[in-house]
Amino acid sequence: MHRIGYFLTDGFQVMALGTQSVFEFANVVAKEQVYQVTNYSLRGGVVTSSIGASVNTQSVTSESRADTWMVSGIVDPIGHVSTAEELDFLKRAAGQAQRVGGMCTGAFVLAQAGLLEGKKVTTHWAYASILKDRFPGTFVEPDSIFINDGAIWTSAGLSAAMDLALGMVEKDLGHGVANRVAKVLVMYHRRSGGQSQHSEMLNIAPKSDRVQVALDYARAHLSDDLSAEVLARTVHLSERQFRRVFLSETGLSPAKAVEQLRLETARNMIQRGQHSLEIIARETGFRDRRHLREVFVRKLGVSPQSLRREAREGDTD
């Protein structure tokens, strides 16, 4: 039996407890008790959530063990600092567990405990840049619903923590069980970790018409050469001027912005399922299907084939 411990502190986000349903229905689908879920806190007893609802917990001791520890954050992590006792427990618990999950801003707690150093992680988009600044040894990927890097699992918002929990079930019990659990829970389908929290291109808000024209040109010509030199010519600037203006207005290099445009467009085409991967690669400016896969795995942590399979299964569920 796989033991899952939820480590709760006062002010925890109550929605975190909803992820327990994923493990509950994994037991139902598997027709055996694969998972045993227990709520813990430092002292035990009643712990109050951010909305005021309370839950009873067991106290943690030197003998407390779990195969998976799930940690919830709080509504606003900016001014919150976990106690030394809480962090000491998490360090010890993580060393004895198979994996640790930081749900939403729970990533901040794991980072304070030193568990995210050198790890690729995500958190709620509103706090991703803050997490990156506070813990520079952590590689924060804001464009992911959840990320699994070794024994560390992190999710974006708490609805994305449902996807994280389903990802754990898939790792433990296989894709078929995870998909049936998603169906029981009336989730559209199990979203992969590589799906975006939102369109990153919405964050690009250029101040000048010239940069906007260049972006519009890029969107309309994804299969063409979109080097900085080409884009500069479309707006009648020198390449050097264009690079400087583009970076100052968007915070991205032209090459990075073009890569994001191609990646988002390809992802949307894959999920719609209307074209082969060869056609998608060609129309979005990737060299070939292999190049498309390489970029997807490197940037999103998931293959195009996996995204397509999940989209198809979601349509038939």
Same domain for 219 and 143: no
Q: What is the mean pLDDT of residues 88-116?
A: 95
Select the more confidently predicted residue: 260 or 230.
230
CB distance 269 to 281 below 8 Å: no
**CATH number where 92 lies:** 3.40.50.880
In angstroms, rounded to a whole number, what is the distance separating the alpha carbons of residues 213 and 234?
A: 8
Q: What is the mean pLDDT of residues 66-85?
A: 89
| pLDDT given at position 292 | 92
Same domain for 110 and 220: no
How many helices (H) and strands (E) are present in the chain, helices listed first?
A: 13, 10
Q: What is the tens place of the pLDDT at every residue in 305-316?
A: 888 877 666 554
Same domain for 218 and 180: no
> Per-residue confidence at 78, pLDDT binned at 50, 70, 90?
confident
Measured in Å, how far apart are the chain's first and last C-alpha atoms? Answer: 29
In angstroms, rounded to a whole number, what is the distance separating the alpha carbons of residues 1 and 183?
A: 23
Q: What is the mean pLDDT of residues 302-307?
A: 84
Tokens of residue 177, six digits: 């069980």
> Per-residue confidence at 77, pLDDT binned at 50, 70, 90?
confident
Q: Going by C-beta distance under 8 Å and a sequence separation of 6 or more, which residues neighbour residue 206?
A: 212, 215, 246, 249, 250
Select the more confidently predicted residue: 297 or 22.
22
Q: What is the tens place of the pLDDT at every residue in 1-23?
A: 999 999 999 999 999 999 999 99
Q: How deeply is 232 buried, as exposed, middle or buried, from its count of CB atoms within 10 A (0-12, 13-18, 19+)?
A: buried
In angstroms, rounded to a whole number, what is the distance separating the alpha carbons of residues 141 and 145?
A: 9
Q: Is the pLDDT of residue 200 over 80?
A: no
In angstroms, rounded to a whole number, what is the distance separating the alpha carbons of residues 243 and 235?
A: 12
Same domain for 166 and 47: yes
DSSP state of 101: E
Give the mean pLDDT of the chain. Answer: 88
**Host domain of residue 287:** 200-316
**CATH number where 260 lies:** 1.10.10.60
Domain count, the chain: 2
Same domain for 156 and 100: yes
In angstroms, rounded to a whole number, what is the distance separating the alpha carbons of residues 261 and 277?
A: 17
Q: What is the tens place of the pLDDT at every residue in 267-291?
A: 888 877 778 999 999 999 999 999 9
In angstroms, rounded to a whole number, what is the distance separating the alpha carbons of residues 15 and 283?
A: 41
Q: What is the tens place of the pLDDT at every residue in 44-74?
A: 999 999 999 999 999 998 788 899 999 998 8
| pLDDT given at position 203 | 55
Same domain for 162 and 39: yes
DSSP state of 142: S
Same domain for 125 and 206: no
